[in-house]
Chain A
Amino acid sequence: MRIAIASGKGGTGKTTVAVALARVMDSCVLVDCDVEAPNAHLFLSPEVSHTQEAFVMIPVVDDDKCTGCGECSRVCQFNALAVLNKSVLVFEELCHGCGGCVIACEPKAITEGGRLIGTMQWGKANGMDFFDAKLRIGEPMSPPLIKGLKRQADLAEAENMILDCPPGTTCPMVEAVSGADYCILVTEPTPFGLHDLNMAAQAVRDMGIPSGVILNRAGMGDNCIQEYCRANGMTILMEIPHRREIAEGYAVGKDILRSMPELEDEFKNMIKTINEGLNNG
């Protein structure tokens, strides 16, 4: 089973939930897909066994073969190629690596090189397989790195996979959540939490992925989440109480099962419920 942990709003507790779930599930791989700000490793101190750089393809122009015809620039939708004085300028950061220019170049003057987008690493943490990646500073595009990381994690062939997703509801979040059997949306009982839960819930619905809600910091704000879920037929899978000691533990990389061991059974039961729900269609 592949479970994505997403939220819309940042800082609601995605990583807290992802780490706890990975700990209570057998044969599990945890993939930290928040490549812009990866933090799950702080709670697991994994022993990294592999490090691998990730690249996207970019055009490399052979000036000797280039006729300056401008076809590459014409087909590029991202304005990553410009022709000046019959010579081609490549703006690497704008390139999406689609390869359109290579096909369009009649004199075959374009080959492909790589632009470093980040570094992936993986290893073991308390028996589980752990994968994460860091987006290179100054690199705008995180989705290709997330995709590459998930591919790498697939090779671990674990029975279960937990995807700790980035915040938001646009391309990085969609890339991270895609392919999941189920999505857990972590929120908090505040107007911001509610607003962004609504966006995230619509996004996963559009993607055709079943979802449920974990209400974190229950009791901190008001009852807006319970009311919203009731009105929209959404399941609240679990409520995590608002406790200062959880935040204090989080501050020093202590996972929630150490701060509140009594939650372990709740997480296990939740997984069972999700599993049964999926099996019964």
Chain B
Amino acid sequence: MAETGKAKTITIISGKGGTGKTSVTAAFASLAAPVVVADCDVDAANLHLLLSPTVKNTVEFYAMPAARINQDLCTGCGTCHDLCRYEAILVDDDKYTVDSLGCEACLVCKENCPEQAIEAVERLAGHWYLSQARTGPMVHASLGIAQENSGKLVTEVRKAAAEVAESNGLGMVLVDGPPGIGCAVMASLTGADLVIAVTEATQSGLKDLMRVHDLCQHFKIPIHIIINKCDLNPDVTNTVRQWAKGKNAPIIGEIPYDTAFTKAMIEGKTIVEYKSSRIGDRLKEMWQEVVHTLA
């Protein structure tokens, strides 16, 4: 949990992908402006497509140094190959090389190479950006293709967002989190005061919501729920409601299945900026609920 006096951090996650996390985050950003937003879905960052930020500062992100074999020194003894548990040392005609996609950066090979033929090479894995969006300051990132360490990059983005909030005297940070429950999600949750889980009224949505809920319990972070596509199947929606009630997890709103989100996205707008719609009005009510909770 964040310390008192610091900006309040609300993290939006879902478990299942494609339930509407980013659309909800962007809508809340419009309603809370000026607010700091952080796109912590660094694997597949999309928030910038709705908030069209202007980049002010670019910071390089380095992944952990990976192994590289110096062919001039390598005698082909195979020690590295035997010791690597990630099958990242490739052998072709007695020539040993490192598979950079498989390399876990443990450097066991470097440490144990009798010829000291292996070096650790810095890897520029991506960038993160300090930007100005129309909703306020924004921190976002782009991770190189097929890179590791997304958890580490998420942590840098999240920390930068907290610093920006403090230096700009802004009291709130909205974090758009990644799908799943693994490393990147856990890194997004650190320091959150409140989690908003966006689910959908499908069996998959509910199953994944349950896992996200368990993760939040693990970190002792309160969780509020939004049910998207709530009119797809009334029975499933009821099941979600009953489950949430049993877990004392408040449902702050329900959103019917509507293509308005898609239309707004194509225009590069948040749903509350996109001509007056019933969905936009519902999001406003939900935001009031969130503000009320945090007060």
Residues of A within 8 A of B (CB): 8-12, 15, 34, 36-37, 39, 42, 75, 77-78, 96-100, 103-104, 134-135, 137-142, 166-174, 178, 190-192, 195-196, 199, 202-203, 206-207, 220-222, 244, 247-248, 250-253
Q: Known contacts A36-B182, A135-B182, A221-B262; is A10 also within 8 Å of B22 by CB?
A: no
Chain A residues with CB under 8 A of B183: 140-142
Minimum Cβ distance to chain B for residue A165 (Å): 11
Minimum Cβ distance to chain B for residue A89 (Å): 19
Residues of B within 8 A of A (CB): 14-19, 22, 43-44, 46, 49, 64, 83, 85-86, 101-102, 104-108, 111-112, 143, 145-148, 150-151, 178-186, 200-204, 207-208, 211, 214-215, 218, 229, 232-233, 235-236, 257, 259, 262, 265-266, 268
CB pair A170–B266 under 8 Å, yes or no, is: no
Give 10 nearest A-B pairs by CB, closest first: A10-B17, A11-B18, A168-B43, A98-B106, A36-B180, A140-B183, A39-B204, A251-B233, A251-B202, A100-B108
Q: When chains A and B are docked, how far (Å) is the Cα of A64 from the Cα of B73? A: 39
CB pair A99–B85 under 8 Å, yes or no, is: yes
Q: Known contacts A98-B104, A172-B182, A199-B44; is A37 also within 8 Å of B16 by CB?
A: yes
Return the chain A residue nearest B185 by Cβ: A36
CB pair A9–B262 under 8 Å, yes or no, is: no
Q: Known contacts A37-B211, A137-B214; is A203 also within 8 Å of B178 by CB?
A: no
Return the chain A residue nearest B86 by Cβ: A98
Minimum Cβ distance to chain B for residue A147 (Å): 9
CB pair A100–B106 under 8 Å, yes or no, is: yes
Q: A37-B15, A37-B180, A199-B44 are in contact. List 19 more A-B contacts (CB 8 A).
A: A10-B14, A10-B18, A10-B44, A36-B182, A75-B107, A77-B106, A96-B104, A103-B108, A141-B183, A168-B43, A168-B150, A168-B184, A173-B43, A192-B46, A195-B46, A196-B46, A207-B101, A247-B257, A248-B232
Minimum Cβ distance to chain A for residue B118 (Å): 13
CB pair B211–A137 under 8 Å, yes or no, is: yes
Return the chain A residue nearest B111 by Cβ: A75
CB pair A98–B233 under 8 Å, yes or no, is: no
CB pair B218–A138 under 8 Å, yes or no, is: yes
Chain A residues with CB under 8 A of B105: 77
Minimum Cβ distance to chain A for residue B114 (Å): 13
Q: Known contacts A37-B15, A251-B236, A252-B236; is A169 also within 8 Å of B259 by CB?
A: no
Minimum Cβ distance to chain A for residue B263 (Å): 8
Minimum Cβ distance to chain B for residue A267 (Å): 20
Minimum Cβ distance to chain B for residue A277 (Å): 23
> Which residue, of A98, A139, A166, has the highest number of chain B Cβ atoms within 10 A?
A98
Q: When chains A and B are docked, how far (Å) is the Cα of A89 from the Cα of B185? A: 26
CB pair B17–A9 under 8 Å, yes or no, is: yes
CB pair A252–B211 under 8 Å, yes or no, is: no
CB pair A247–B232 under 8 Å, yes or no, is: yes
Q: Known contacts A77-B106, A100-B106, A203-B146; is A196 also within 8 Å of B44 by CB?
A: yes
Q: Known contacts A103-B111, A167-B180; is A195 also within 8 Å of B49 by CB?
A: yes
Q: Known contacts A167-B43, A191-B49; is A100 also within 8 Å of B107 by CB?
A: yes
Chain A residues with CB under 8 A of B259: 220
Chain B residues with CB under 8 A of A174: 101, 146
CB pair A137–B145 under 8 Å, yes or no, is: no
CB pair B112–A11 under 8 Å, yes or no, is: no
CB pair B229–A247 under 8 Å, yes or no, is: yes
Neighbour of B215 across the interface among A8, A15, A138, A166, CB < 8 A: A138
Chain B residues with CB under 8 A of A168: 43-44, 150, 178-180, 184
CB pair A251–B108 under 8 Å, yes or no, is: no
Q: Known contacts A78-B106, A191-B49, A244-B257; is A171 also within 8 Å of B17 by CB?
A: no
Q: When chains A and B are docked, how far (Å) is the Cα of A231 from the Cα of B202? A: 36
Neighbour of A192 across the interface among B49, B102, B112, B180, CB < 8 A: B49
Chain B residues with CB under 8 A of A39: 16, 203-204, 207-208
Chain A residues with CB under 8 A of B146: 169-170, 173-174, 203, 206-207
Neighbour of B19 across the interface among A11, A99, A134, A191, CB < 8 A: A11
CB pair A135–B145 under 8 Å, yes or no, is: no
Return the chain B residue nearest A7 by Cβ: B17
CB pair B145–A171 under 8 Å, yes or no, is: no
CB pair B203–A251 under 8 Å, yes or no, is: yes
CB pair B101–A178 under 8 Å, yes or no, is: yes
Q: When chains A and B are docked, how far (Å) is the Cα of A166 from the Cα of B111? A: 33
